[in-house]
């Protein structure tokens, strides 16, 4: 596995809408494995394709050890409830803001074998899914923040 460079700041790639993955190839699987390594190395809980400069609809999420998701073409199919809390982003180091998200979401995606999966997430997992799927549409959390916290 290889660590990739995380795109940060005002890089225009972070504002682009990603293309769906049409075919799951060894290259796509390697991308997801690299993203997982990169995310873990940076102490993150999620990472999306554009954050490593790849405009494809892929995300990795790991909110707790052993709960790892490597998802292709993810979409939120249901959401309910509400949570409000601080978010940060590996692409916006040193920043954080207060964001309102659903408490529960249901996500449909393909796994690395091309099998359709449906995952229900609650709390931090729901927040992470929403945050990473937003990245695939060029949306960054400050766009949704009720307010940004002062930099430390």
**145 close to 97: Cβ distance less than 8 angstroms:** yes
Res 2 pLDDT > 90: no
Sheet strands side by side (includes 104-110): 46-48, 58-64, 67-80, 104-110, 116-122
In a domain, 6, yes or no: no
pLDDT of residue 112: 97
**For 50, what's the count of Cα atoms within 13 Å in the CB-facing half-sphere?**
27
In a domain, 111, yes or no: yes
Active site residues: 132
In a domain, 54, yes or no: yes
**102 close to 80: Cβ distance less than 8 angstroms:** yes
Q: How much of the chain, in percent, has pLDDT values that exceed 90?
A: 95
In a domain, 80, yes or no: yes
In a domain, 28, yes or no: yes
The pLDDT tens digits for 40-91 are 999 999 999 999 999 999 999 999 988 999 999 999 999 999 999 999 999 9
Question: How many independent structural domains does the chain possess?
Answer: 1
In a domain, 3, yes or no: no
In a domain, 82, yes or no: yes
Mean pLDDT of the chain, nearest integer: 96
pLDDT of residue 105: 98
Cα–Cα distance, 58 to 78 (Å, whole number): 19
pLDDT of residue 83: 98
In a domain, 2, yes or no: no
Res 124 pLDDT > 90: yes
Q: Which domain holds residue 58?
A: 12-148
Q: What is the mean pLDDT of residues 1-26?
A: 95
CATH number at residue 49: 3.90.45.10
Cα–Cα distance, 15 to 108 (Å, whole number): 23
Res 15 pLDDT > 80: yes
pLDDT of residue 1: 60
Res 125 pLDDT > 90: yes
For 38, phi then psi, to 5°, come to -65, -45
**27 close to 106: Cβ distance less than 8 angstroms:** no
For 2, phi then psi, to 5°, come to -130, 145
Res 150 pLDDT > 90: no
Which residue pairs from 22-29 have beta carbons closer than 8 angstroms and sit at least 24 positions apart in sequence? 24/72, 24/110, 24/112, 24/113, 24/114, 28/56, 28/58, 28/72, 28/112, 29/112
């Amino acid at each position: 596995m290889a660590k990739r460079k995380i795109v940060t700041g005002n890089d225009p790639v972070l504002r682009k809408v990603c293309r769906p993955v049409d075919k799951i190839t060894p290259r796509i699987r390697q991308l997801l494995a690299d993203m997982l390594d990169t995310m873990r190395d940076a102490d993150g809980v999620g990472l999306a394709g554009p954050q490593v400069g790849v405009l494809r609809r892929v995300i990795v999420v790991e909110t707790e050890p052993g709960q790892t998701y490597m998802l292709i073409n993810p979409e939120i199919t249901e959401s309910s409830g509400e949570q409000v809390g601080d978010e940060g982003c590996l692409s916006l180091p040193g920043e954080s803001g207060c964001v309102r998200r659903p408490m529960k979401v249901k996500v449909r995606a393909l796994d690395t074998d091309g099998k359709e999966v449906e995952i229900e997430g609650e709390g931090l997992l729901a927040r992470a899914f929403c945050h990473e799927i937003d990245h695939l549409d060029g949306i960054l959390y400050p766009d949704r923040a009720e307010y940004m916290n002062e930099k430390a």
